[in-house]
Structure 1
């Protein structure tokens, strides 16, 4: 005997309950709290906005955005096998190096004076690099890295997948916490480095999967042993034509039944494997996955037997991983046995009841089977979703499970409103699967008035307005909205009753006093218990059957958990077929809404129904069937949505480690997660899923290794053997119980490459020995106001920077550690700073240089010094010290602030040699010679001759070498030159008596003596 459970395929965990020996599974989300979070803050005027605005709060109608592909900041890095780049030192003959190491030149890199070489086949790259590094002719060697652009997927809604890549984007009114995701882009960079990842088949044991969805059709498993549609069991597994899986509910090979909805399984499959970079919709986590749809759940649930059959099928077909977003509270040994017997990694949802399953178990999540992983849900801020089950023993890990966008089937036609007219019992009713508050400000009053007119409501009618939308989560009610609707319909007299959360409404005694009851539920759909209680159903049923009564039921999920009640199926003659997100409702011909078209606002739990008796109940509004998959993407909440995130990452791991079993995969997934404080007391380990860390789990973390290190430290899997390879040698140690390791190694020179692996040897970390020595700088030249370079010594290869004011000048030290930095000539006293930065980024201490003065005073201008002078004066550099050297004597002075100087000396002989020196403050000196000039006139000539009128020669004495000039008036009458003794004789013409002659002597310096006068006798 089966116990029926209400169905809600919009989101959430698939739950089951049992009676006697049978189990029935059903899909629903008990709490749906997170979906309500999408609509908090919406007031009564919410629907006065256009339908497109409802997308802003997470409505299913996804407006596809333009494709985007942005290069990530990190380029995928590989290197060309067998190739190295070698940089030779100056003056090295490359052919000698190549010959020595058996290398082949492939390409010259002239720009950097290097070359690409081919390593001899069979030679270890590590050992070859080590040999080249040790070669004194080689400056450096490195792999020939291969760079590729690493793009985010171009699927237009990738930016809505916060669980994969959380940039802090706003999803359904919730602003995310940056990087609160599974590190999908980083994981993809890592995954795409794999040369040949294994294809992994994942069984989605669930409702059906729409294998024709454009974002899934290329990722569906095909049975290689089956020939399609030949009516035979070609592979002998007991199932005929099981080409893409099997439907254990209907016992056929159709893994998708549109009439059943099959949204849940399709949504799960999309999170795991939706095609990436196809320009459509969303991106699945695992590009190496093929989905095997195994349907065992329908609108009314699924049985344990069918669940076990699906598990056994998957195991028989060699599936290693299955996704199981369903469960319930009853222990089921047979199910447990099937799960354990399968040996597959069985990823299952923890459940959506907000309870601690350590004390209130939920199965299969609470089974202790070693191959089970149970998954809780977190939101985009890292908090445990308020609907998510938890338990430090029963739940293993958390993953994104709130507002998860993924694939769904295109929609079938669905009835969402009905008009009931039971003429036999004389009652009428209008039942909406949504609320009038979900309609626009124009459409709502129109539709409401048509409903009242259909019911025959007049101004005289006695009307009771039942406000049953009180929410235990504090969401707003819509009482004012319905008051306004009544007012716009011309109704001014009515009574109001407010129903407290989870309580029964007015009883039959109250209801019977009224002609029409308008009962609305608003956001009460999220309350713990059904909106309409059993008492409510009985009262409403009896109220209508009194005759001449009418009823309006308005609100999404208003009939939740009462779908199979007599009130719904008989009194209202309706069959609830499911629920889903609202879209545009279209009026059905021949009904009160004939010709209407009502775009609805956000209403994620709109009830879908059909008529059990079209003579009594007519569907008057429908959601038309969708003709394409453009809108076949929806946001769902639930641990069901968290589960496929874990499944997808497990599939990535299986692609990397195809030999790993379920327990090995589980161990990596749980150990590699990110610690979240919000989960510390909620789930075992307190971690959320991290795809990148899972893929790099066996990659040890290694501390810095310097040229002084004699050991390598780091962390790895506890108990793992850590191996370090340096060239052809290797060194090992075992990680302790905390995962720490220390491996002793010989001290290595900077730049040496170490290969570190731990446990599984497929993951190797290359570590470069770093230089930790801070370079020292020595300046070997004196930098003066004549210098054009700074010369010195530092670490080879270090970059030298000389800073002068705001300008900087650089050079690189050569292999001999020498450097020369060219600079403009600077003024004396200028401050220069010099630093050296080596290849490891270490910067020397700052060396400050003051430019010294090496320029002597520009000039010395000395005024003429004669044999009459008692000073030496002139002009030179201001404040310079002046020294005058005259023979053995020195005379001192100092230039003033203008450069003028005057130094006292003793009178010097004409022709004496003086040296005048000016010395500046830096002791730079400039000297000039000075010859003392003759400024002293010779003595007047002395005549020995008595001049008569007959005298024709005059004789006498004067300064030796002087010129004797005899004049009569202004006329020269005779000249001669004295001999070395000063004697002279000058010829003249005879002069008349009494003529006056003047005689002068002019020395070599042109000094003229006083005149000697003589009168002719």
Structure 2
């Protein structure tokens, strides 16, 4: 390689990869989906039909089925592209949809800026604006958390041994540790502390760092004399790993993790990652989860209405989409935004939280080549007095080259969370010339490793990397291997040559379970913002366990600190405020019942005195906007809402008032007015009397069908019951009454006694 084209750089910090981060290299385009796989969902109550046999004959096979969403992962034959398979399935009328298995990336940006460490929770103005925070100190006076609330972190894993997290890691109540048995029959053996969906084992160890940082924001143990405090001092963090150290994860693995979280009782599911491809399968999995799903809006600085990021941009009642704000309550420079697709803002710049501690197994600055065996031209080259490894020490690489440099064999016995890091810079003449990283446990069969770079994960490195970059490869699949070989392999075609690549600062590290209390770092991104919202949601659920996920979402949205500079960036125009959300969970228990076809009665009880009164709000079931229908005094605890439409569902809530300000929200409650019944003509004879309203059989059936699964007001139920009894009585009175003889025999066989009607 020509030294005049290279400037040696220094890597000063671990680099986190992020969707939409500024590219530092012109890299070749990469596929946004997994080759050789598609996701398919059949229409409801439809099984694969006659065409399934044709597809099987062509080598298509289902390799994974997701029970909750009904989606199937299908493996393709080697001669079929993803586009061809999608077209084939979409031509089948029994198929609801078919799509690629998209890849996703974490939503975090690298940052090593020094700032007040917990400004997001309590901002004293040291680095930012005073009170540009979540008022966590005030919220903690009301509630600090509970391990009964489960927050699933679907991410790169979590360091369950971190001293500031270990006490808050979720434990599967139905699983016996290390017995090799799937005790609860959920398909996952020994999933005591979550699952690794990337490698298919019960060790969701964080080789990236992102998931542990997110987990610390949500639930680092508080008041323990060390490190930091999460939003929840006590909580159950469920570690679910689906993204590797190379910042690589697939739709199928994300779906599996979300379904696992929902099936195992997660109250909140945190998704601090995203991508630009719309997956209906992923949306179905989110919609099927009975949990609040908090999503990072993304870090590309884009308007989500123009450049959407998924899952944050899905139109789903389950999702709370979060943009990032800074320490002055302005939108973070990198955050995606939208006044319709981003719901709230939360702190996301310079966030200090937990990261996994790591120890070094092997490192090489290439001062010599004693640890390497080379094939072909590979060797060392001196760049400004520093030795580096390269495939072409003498200058440009050759055409039609296939050569490698192999590291001496290492043992990973007893190791968890192994990872390869190295620095790389250089260029190739075209996409056909590429650098790959491979691993082998026997020195014969080599497996290609995905490599994480600034602009995303790749199976191979090609194109121009103009400044030194950190490259990361995940080795966790080889944890415990008695023998592991790693090699760099350079392949070129005959289209031309270039300088090639330089490699430096190589290290193989693993999780350090004997870490101290200093495993913390600053990150920034909407990932961090989403984590603050997840923690806040968990606190609310502790204080008011009866709230539904939708009600918790509404509470967070309705209690933001509104800021003019956030108007237009998020739908609520504000940054979350944990304290306001907590005090807004007023001790008001609201009930509703339909009393007539045009009337619903409300009543409520309160746990604490109210200063100014109660504001009663109503919205139709088909809409989302509340309107105020009445304000009543502090000594009034019921209200009659009249003039309503029959057969209509209305939703209510009551707000507590103090000095004209809204200080709390009750639970939401719904009631349905009964359908108005028809008028029957007056009867004569039988039961006698005048005219009466009679529900026809069709009307009664329609009423009960409409009311199935809903809370029917007591008054409405009694009304229908009276009508039914009245009709039955009227029918009886219309029938002839027969008085039977006494059946007394006089010995002649002739019955005696009255026989008339």
Q: TM-score, normalised by structure 1?
A: 0.41
Task: Write the distance in 2 (CA, Å) between the matches of 1:316 and 1:558.
Answer: 34
Call closer, same or farther: CA 1:678–1:623 in 2, change over 3 Å: farther
Aligned to 1:354: 301
1:263 counterpart residue number: 209
Deviations 1:727-774 (A, max 9, x none): 99x9876358665964357xxxxxxxx79999999997899xxxxxxx
CA distance in 2, matches of 1:624, 1:243: 25
Give the deviation of 1:576 after TM superposition: 3.4
Give aligned pairs, total: 473
Aligned-partner SS, 1:312? helix
Secondary structure of 2:286's aligned partner: helix
Q: Does 1:240 align with 2:316?
A: no
Name stretches of at least 5 consecutive residues in structure 2 with no aligned partner: 1-13, 22-30, 35-81, 83-98, 398-423, 436-451, 475-484, 491-500, 589-600, 619-625, 640-650, 660-757
Distance 2:147 2:106 in 1: 35
Aligned residue number for residue 17 of structure 1:
32
Map residues 785-864 of structure 1 onto 2, 5 A cutoff.
none
2:143 maps to 191
For 1:576, which of 468, 471, 482 is the aligned residue?
A: 471
Instruction: Name the residue aligned to 1:855.
Output: none
The secondary structure found in structure 1 opposite 2:385 is helix
- Is this contact kept in 2: 1:755–1:766, CA < 8 A? no
CA deviation profile, 1:782-805 (whole Å, cap 9, x unmatched): xxxxxxxxxxxxxxxxxxxxxxxx
Distance 1:533 1:383, change over 3 A: farther
Partner of 1:276: 222
Instruction: Kindly provide the CA deviation profile for residues 676-725 of structure 1, in whole angstroms up to 9, marking residues without a partner as x.
Output: 22210211121111100111124499xxxxxxxxxxxxxxxxx9978799
Structure 1 residues 974-1005: Cα deviation after superposition (integer angstroms, max 9, x where no partner): xxxxxxxxxxxxxxxxxxxxxxxxxxxxxxxx
1:366 aligns to what? 313
Shift of the alpha carbon at 1:662?
Answer: 1.4
CA distance in 2, matches of 1:167, 1:367: 36
1:612 counterpart SS class: strand
1:734 maps to 616
The SS at the match of 1:405 is strand
Match of 1:652 in 2: 539
Alpha-carbon distance between aligned partners in 2 of 1:198 and 1:620, rounded to the nearest angstrom: 42
**Cα distance in 2, alignment partners of residues 359 and 22 from structure 1:** 22
Return the match for 1:179 from 131, 134, 158.
Answer: 131
- 8 Å contact 2:434–2:460 — kept in the other structure? no
Partner of 1:942: none
CA contact (8 A) 2:561 2:574 kept: yes
Aligned equivalent of 2:385, options 431, 435, 449? 449
Q: Distance in 1 between matches of 2:232 and 2:549?
A: 17
Structure 2 residue aligned with 1:673: 560
1:403 is aligned to 350
In structure 1, the partner of 2:449 is none
CA distance in 2 between counterparts of 1:740 and 1:623 reads: 65
SS of equivalent to 1:338: helix
Distance in 2 between the 1:392 and 1:761 partners?
25
Compare relative contact order (CA 8 Å, sep 6+) and give the higher one, 1 or 2: 2
- State the Cα distance separating 1:292 from its structure 2 match: 0.7
CA deviation string 1:9-29 (max 9, x = no partner): 726469993263443535456
Decide whether the 8 Å contact of 2:366 with 2:388 is kept in 1. no
SS in 2 for 1:577: strand
**Structure 2 counterpart of 1:212:** 161
**CA–CA separation in structure 2 for the residues paired with 1:189 and 1:412:** 39
Distance across 1 between alignment mates of 2:391 and 2:193? 51
- The equivalent residue for 1:553 is none
For residues 387-409 of structure 1, the C-alpha deviation after alignment (integer angstroms, 9 at most, x for no partner) is 11111111011111111111111
The residue correspondences of 1:464-483 to structure 2 (distance < 5 A) are: none
8 Å CA contact retained: 1:198, 1:655: no
Do the aligned partners of residues 668 and 198 (structure 1) sit closer, same or farther apart at CA in structure 2, a change above 3 Å counting?
Answer: farther
Structure-2 separation of matches of 1:357 and 1:383: 18
Q: 2:118 aligns with which of 157, 161, 171?
A: 161
| TM, length-normalised to structure 2 | 0.54
Q: Is 1:634 paired with 2:521?
A: yes
Counterpart for residue 632 of structure 2: 743
Q: Which residue of 1 is the match for residue 259 of structure 2?
A: 312
Counterpart Cα distance in 2 of 1:636 and 1:232: 39
Aligned CA distance change for structure 1 residues 575 and 198 (closer, same or farther; 3 Å): closer
* Residue deviations 1:830-878 (CA, integer Å, cap 9, x gap): xxxxxxxxxxxxxxxxxxxxxxxxxxxxxxxxxxxxxxxxxxxxxxxxx
**Equivalent residue number for residue 599 of structure 1:** none
Kept in 1, the 8 Å contact 2:105–2:249? The answer is no
Partner-residue secondary structure (3-state), 2:222: coil
Give the superposition deviation at 1:531.
8.7
Preserved CA contact (<8 Å) 1:724 1:757? no
Query: Which ranges of structure 1 fall in alignment gaps of 5 or more residues?
Result: 1-7, 39-56, 59-158, 170-174, 432-447, 463-506, 509-529, 542-556, 580-608, 702-718, 746-753, 768-1017
Deviation at 1:276, TM superposition (A): 0.5
Asked if 1 retains the 8 angstrom alpha-carbon contact of 2:428 and 2:434, the reply is no
Distance 2:250 2:613 in 1: 57
Change beyond 3 A, Cα 1:741–1:162: farther
- CA 1:394–1:226 in structure 2 vs 1: closer, same or farther (change >3 Å)? same
What is the CA RMSD across the aligned residues, in angstroms?
4.9
Partner of 2:46: none
